[in-house]
Chain A
């Protein structure tokens, strides 16, 4: 009984995070300008990281935690590089 209720709660949380990722992807697709797309991409990767942690709770493995850490790390670097590109026109000066 408890396991079933928790399983449905985890699935509901995953569906909500999936809807959140769809909203962020819509902002990436629609724009209207480059900074809006980068903002949507940032939200997209944060939501994907949360979804990975949720998968980790669901399966009881720590493998998902490590991939979530890597996603947050690379997402930060990517967003900073894009913002720097918008500011200067080049990433490495």
Chain B
């Protein structure tokens, strides 16, 4: 081995070993267990082939968790991106106390998701209901989170409230890369605000749009803390996300191997969605 390279190998080897032990190995083990019927604590288990995978497709709870998670993720991703782009444009405009407002809008991002969830849990059950009753709005006068039909909206609200902060800052960074002279030129040409946005602003922040879409989607597909704090998957299983199902089924329900199979499917889906998003959005970037 090249002597000059030796220090470099020494620098990386411990990291490779730890990375393999704590990330790659568990991932491989998860795949391995997904072909067994291990419950997670006994010594004995058998290989059952693809049976877990077959059962996953027949399992109503699993289907329900996937439906909830994807519905949630799509709605949250769209809302977060629209709102954060609007806020970022507002924060980029000529306003007073700009840094103060930036500070406020970014604040939710530094708070614990779990605690924010608990705070909103109280607001949904004890505060918003008062407004609902006073204003005579039916769906707001009872706890939103207690309704099997509407509880997911409550989780969307909390996820958006917190998620917008991060994406706003990224969009703001994107907007600041656009030279002001472009707007001056379009002003002279008599372009409307609307044209300005679609012809200048939006195309030029395309890479930031890609990052924000992918990040928001990935984060919301992994939703866990909010579920624990707001509904614990209920009422019934109306708001059980995939990661929440893997956690409860795997650790508390004795479904270790079964949920391992679920994890494998979950991983494939997240990877596929992320890659598809990046490909599609980057092609769009190039075309613009």
Partners in one complex: no
